[in-house]
């Protein structure tokens, strides 16, 4: 598409109705929204690059839009926040059709509507190279409630939501390219293409006084390393307690552990909470039907992560977040 048609294009993607009131959205130099002094503002940005984060064989334009926003919502969930607004900057190569671009915005809108988020701005530019989409998401969290990576303390329970490795499994299914296998693994494919951020769990966690938290965007090991480093503690994880979906184990039992540890993009929440609060948290999650697993504990230390393998042996995870044992 030529960006000479930018004004027409923006009109087509401008939301007809808004979830929030009293705001200035698309159509001026900048967006303006009102604030609530009981809350603090959350903001994050996430970028997806054609050929790097998606291929025509793995993601339709709709999926690109959905996932670009979902990844951002997941970051807001990891801060315990309520998603509110988003802005989209898109750099468009001339070989992309307007219909494909509108599908990207359909995907964005679908993810946005699920969390009552309004598209309030952005930038549309043309490029001589690949499509780049950069989404800025804005949310809010009650003042003083901060689910930081640096909050872990000795004795804490390490928890993770849902199941891990599914997104990487789904990507593997897609790259394999076998239509029959793809038909049998639609769950894993959905986990790759339209991930579900854990906003409700983030909100539950925000009510506890001390929680460390990350979303699983880069793989479990990488997220645990970040928490351990930020909190200056060690962690001990039991590989036998890592949660998998039945779909993943049926698709590739052998690679499930590796994908869980290093695959990433599951957009589950991983973190730590005191032993006392763990009981209360797991009771609430059971009631709310949110799967949550206790996968280990926090030790005094200096940013190291240990994983106990199925033979009961402890292994330190390397700094690159990648363990030879699991490769």
Q: Which of 51, 286, 288, 316 binds its own copies (CB under 8 A)?
A: 51
**CA nearest 135: which of 91, 82, 76, 69?**
69
Note whether 247 and 259 are within 8 A (CB). Answer: no
CB of 223 vs its own copies, minimal distance in Å: 10
- Alpha-carbon gap, residue 82 to 41, rounded angstroms: 10
Task: State the residue for tokens 């790097």.
Answer: 52
* Phi/psi at 174 (5° precision): -65, -40
Cα(175)–Cα(13) distance, rounded to whole angstroms?
A: 31
Contact pick of 19, 110, 146, 203 for its own copies (by CB under 8 A)? 146
Measured from the CB of residue 111, what is the shortest distance to its own copies in angstroms?
A: 16
- Cβ(190)–Cβ(170) below 8 Å: yes
CB of 47 to its own copies, least distance (A): 5
Ranges within 17-46 binding its own copies (CB under 8 A): 24, 27-37, 39-46
CA distance 132 to 93: 9
Nearer to its own copies, 130 or 275 (CB): 130
Nearer to its own copies, 5 or 313 (CB): 5
Annotated binding-site residue? 62: no
Our finding on whether 305 is near its own copies (CB under 8 A) is no
The three-state secondary structure class of 213 is strand
Part in contact with its own copies (CB under 8 A); list of ranges 107-115, 116-124, 279-287, 293-301: 116-124
Find, among 80, 127, 105, 78, the residue nearest to 9 by Cα.
Answer: 105
Q: Which is nearer to its own copies, 248 or 270 (CB)?
A: 270
- 8 Å CB contact between 73 and 137: yes
Question: How many CB atoms are located within 10 Å of the residue 218 CB?
Answer: 16
Task: Tell me the torsion sign for CA atoms 257, 192, 68, 82.
Answer: negative
Count the residues of the shown chain that bind its own copies, applying the rule CB under 8 A. Answer: 61
**CB of 83 closer than 8 Å to CB of 117:** yes
User: Annotated binding residue at 123?
Assistant: yes
Annotated binding residue 265:
yes
Establish whether 172 is an annotated binding residue: no
Binding-site member from 1, 69, 76, 108 for its own copies (CB under 8 A): 76
Q: Would you say 156 is a known binding-site residue? A: no
Residues 176-215 that bind its own copies (CB under 8 A): 213-215
Member of 1, 64, 70, 120 binding its own copies (CB under 8 A): 120
Does 158 interact with its own copies (rule: CB under 8 A)?
no
Q: Taking Cα atoms as reference points, which of 153, 165, 138 lies closest to residue 268?
A: 165
Residues that bind its own copies (CB under 8 A): 24, 27-37, 39-49, 51-53, 74-76, 78-79, 81, 85, 87, 89, 91, 120-123, 125-130, 132, 134, 136-139, 141, 143, 146, 148-149, 213-215, 230
User: Annotated binding residues, as ranges?
Assistant: 29, 46, 53, 75, 105, 122-123, 149, 215, 217-218, 265, 322
């Amino acid at each position: 598409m030529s960006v000479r048609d930018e004004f027409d294009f923006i009109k087509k993607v401008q939301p007809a109705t808004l979830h929030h009131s009293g705001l200035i959205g698309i159509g001026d130099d900048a967006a303006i929204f009102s604030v609530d002094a009981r809350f603090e503002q959350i903001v994050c940005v996430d970028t997806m690059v054609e050929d790097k984060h998606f291929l025509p064989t793995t993601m339709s334009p709709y999926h690109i839009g959905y996932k670009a926003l979902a990844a951002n919502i997941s970051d807001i969930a990891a801060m315990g926040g309520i998603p509110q607004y988003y802005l989209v900057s898109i750099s468009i190569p001339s070989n992309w059709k307007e219909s494909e671009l509108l599908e990207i915005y359909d995907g964005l809108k679908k993810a946005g509507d699920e969390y009552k988020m309004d598209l309030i701005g952005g930038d549309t530019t043309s490029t001589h190279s690949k499509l780049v989409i950069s989404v800025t998401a804005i949310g809010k969290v009650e003042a003083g409630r901060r689910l930081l990576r640096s909050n872990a303390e000795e004795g804490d329970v390490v928890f993770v939501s849902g199941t891990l490795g599914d997104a990487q499994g789904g990507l593997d299914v897609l790259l394999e390219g076998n239509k029959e296998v793809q038909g049998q693994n639609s769950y894993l494919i959905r986990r790759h293409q339209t991930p579900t951020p854990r906003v409700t769990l983030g909100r539950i966690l925000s009510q506890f006084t001390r929680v460390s938290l990350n979303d699983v965007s880069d793989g479990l090991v990488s997220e645990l390393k970040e928490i351990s480093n930020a909190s200056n503690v060690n962690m001990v994880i039991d590989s036998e307690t890592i949660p998998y979906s039945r779909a993943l184990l049926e698709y590739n039992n052998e690679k499930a552990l590796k994908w869980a540890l290093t695959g990433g993009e599951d957009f589950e929440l991983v973190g730590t909470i005191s032993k006392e609060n763990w009981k209360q948290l797991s009771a609430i999650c059971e009631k709310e039907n949110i799967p949550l697993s206790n996968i280990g504990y926090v030790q005094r230390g200096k940013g190291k992560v240990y994983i106990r393998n199925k033979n009961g042996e402890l292994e330190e995870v390397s700094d690159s977040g990648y363990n030879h044992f699991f490769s």
